[in-house]
Amino acid sequence: MTPTTETMVGIGGAAESTDMVLNIGPQHPSTHGVLRLKLVLDGERITRAEPVIGYMHRGAEKLFEARDYRQIIMLANRHDWLSAFSNELGVVLAVERMLGMEVPERAVWLRTLLAELNRVLNHLMFLGSYPLELGGITPIFYAFREREELQHVMEEVSGGRVHYMFNRVGGLKEDLPAGWTARARGAVADVRSRMDRFDDLVLGNEIFRGRTRGVGVLSPQAVHAYGVSGPIGRASGVDFDLRRDEPYLAYGELGDVLKVVTREEGDCLARFECLLEQTHNALDLADACLDRLAELPPGPVNQRLPKVLKAPEGHTYAWTENPLGINGYYLVSKGEKTPYRLKLRSASYNNIQALTELLPGTLVADMVAILGSMFFVVGDIDK
């Protein structure tokens, strides 16, 4: 006779103390991509949370080693598709530092301008999508209207709507189209004139405030422990921004315009407030760059490069204040036309780790509110 195994299933009062494992994702509307959250629940309360990543992994870091310094720009701008220009920028800054290359002043100011316009585009996406995840559908329509306004000028200058491919080692791909600065200034002014709708529709909404105030509080100690950066870290009172603290591009000359937005509460509401206020400041920085460009005499926007570009043997680390936080590239060269190693330190990868500390102790109903307030892109996690 075949032996059998008997399993006793508890019911009634015994079941109340039984933990349940719940998978959110890997394909779920609130995860902004293929991310899986493994939650252990005690009733409606989360006792343990584990982000499970890798479902979107494309091996970008390995592919960097098989592409030359012109081609890796294409790979770099895709890991965070909402911050494509800023991603390209980090790579070319690293290569230029290895080469000891000076970039024309006009290119420096243009890069700063386009990086801030890209920051606004990134933030507008989350300013629209986060209320949507909490049940408010209207803000995303306004967010996409403003995005289209700025996308038009970004597309005109670069030829790309999402993946701009406009940075080059030594500067930018080409100079601006005739009359572009006036159209860019008009787009910035139009977007700024309508930004108060997010204050009225979202921050003024008592349901939104009820769902986010005091929810998902991230302590400054956890920010430092997990390497959290960007608006999420600053919402917890960690006053750090590379544009001010280690200036690159033209940010050293924009100290009177640049405002590092911080909050002390560290909750979902504080993170949204930081994002919104930072969007306002990015529009001000874009205006300041346009003013400076109007004063500069005509000149080149790039350097002439050899047919085969080789970085000298050595290593360097270039980090930038991307829209979602600190983005860094560690470049190792052995004197060849391809990197020997290009390690990517992405903002979303570090930020999302904090969920293991944020989610335990909270209710399942608050999970989406906390997850959305982390403002991440899954491609930036999986690389």
Chain segment 285-301, per-residue pLDDT in tens: 999 999 999 999 999 99
Cα torsion 44, 216, 232, 139: sign? positive
Predicted local distance difference test score (pLDDT) of residue 188: 97
| Residue whose C-alpha is closest to residue 228's, from 374, 373, 36, 330 | 374
- Residue 300 within any structural domain of the chain: yes
Cα→Cα distances 299→20, 50, 99, 105, 173, Å: 65, 52, 22, 9, 14
Predicted local distance difference test score (pLDDT) of residue 350: 92
Question: Are 137 and 108 in contact, with CB atoms under 8 Å apart?
Answer: no
Give the pLDDT confidence of 46-57 residue by residue, as tens digits: 999 999 998 888
Q: Which domain holds residue 367?
A: 60-381
Band of pLDDT at residue 13, cut at 50, 70 and 90 = very low
- When divided into structural domains, the chain yields a total of 1
Residue 318 reports pLDDT greater than 60 = yes
Band of pLDDT at residue 221, cut at 50, 70 and 90 = very high
- Residue 164 within any structural domain of the chain: yes
Predicted local distance difference test score (pLDDT) of residue 1: 52
Q: How far is CA 310 from the centre of its chain?
A: 30
- Residue 44 within any structural domain of the chain: no
d(CA 71, CA 342): 13
> What is the phi/psi pair of residue 297, to 5°?
-75, 160
Facing residues of 168 across strands? Answer: 171
Share of the chain above pLDDT 90, in %: 77
CA neighbours within 13 Å on the CB side: how many for 162?
A: 6
Band of pLDDT at residue 16, cut at 50, 70 and 90 = low
- Residue 5 within any structural domain of the chain: no
Give the pLDDT confidence of 140-178 residue by residue, as tens digits: 999 999 999 999 999 999 998 889 999 999 999 999 999
- Residue 316 within any structural domain of the chain: yes
Predicted local distance difference test score (pLDDT) of residue 4: 58
Mean pLDDT of 113-120: 96
- Strand, helix or coil for residue 357: helix
Band of pLDDT at residue 7, cut at 50, 70 and 90 = very low
Facing residues of 46 across strands? Answer: 41
Cβ neighbours of residue 175 closer than 8 Å, sequence gap 6 or more = 301
> What is the phi/psi pair of residue 257, to 5°?
-105, -35
Predicted local distance difference test score (pLDDT) of residue 204: 87
Predicted local distance difference test score (pLDDT) of residue 88: 93
- Core vs surface per residue 246-277: b (16+ CB within 10 A) or e: ebbbbbebbeeebbebbbebbbbbbbbbbbbb
**DSSP per residue, 109-136:** HHHHHHHHHHHHHHHHHHHHHHHHHTT-
356: which 2 tokens? 């293991």
- Residue 14 within any structural domain of the chain: no
Give the pLDDT confidence of 325-378 residue by residue, as tens digits: 999 999 999 999 999 999 999 999 999 999 999 999 999 989 989 999 999 998
Predicted local distance difference test score (pLDDT) of residue 382: 85
Task: Name the maximum alpha-carbon separation found in the chain.
Answer: 94
- Residue 318 within any structural domain of the chain: yes
CATH number at residue 264: 1.10.645.10
- Residue 13 within any structural domain of the chain: no
| Residue whose C-alpha is closest to residue 171's, from 276, 265, 96 | 96
Residue 267 reports pLDDT greater than 90 = yes
Cβ neighbours of residue 330 closer than 8 Å, sequence gap 6 or more = 315, 316, 317, 341, 342, 343, 345
Burial of 6 (0-12, 13-18, 19+ CB in 10 A): exposed
Cis peptide before 131 (omega within 30 of 0): no
| Residue whose C-alpha is closest to residue 121's, from 89, 86, 156, 88 | 86
Predicted local distance difference test score (pLDDT) of residue 6: 47
Residue 224 reports pLDDT greater than 60 = yes
Question: Are 52 and 28 in contact, with CB atoms under 8 Å apart?
Answer: no
Mean pLDDT of 196-218: 92
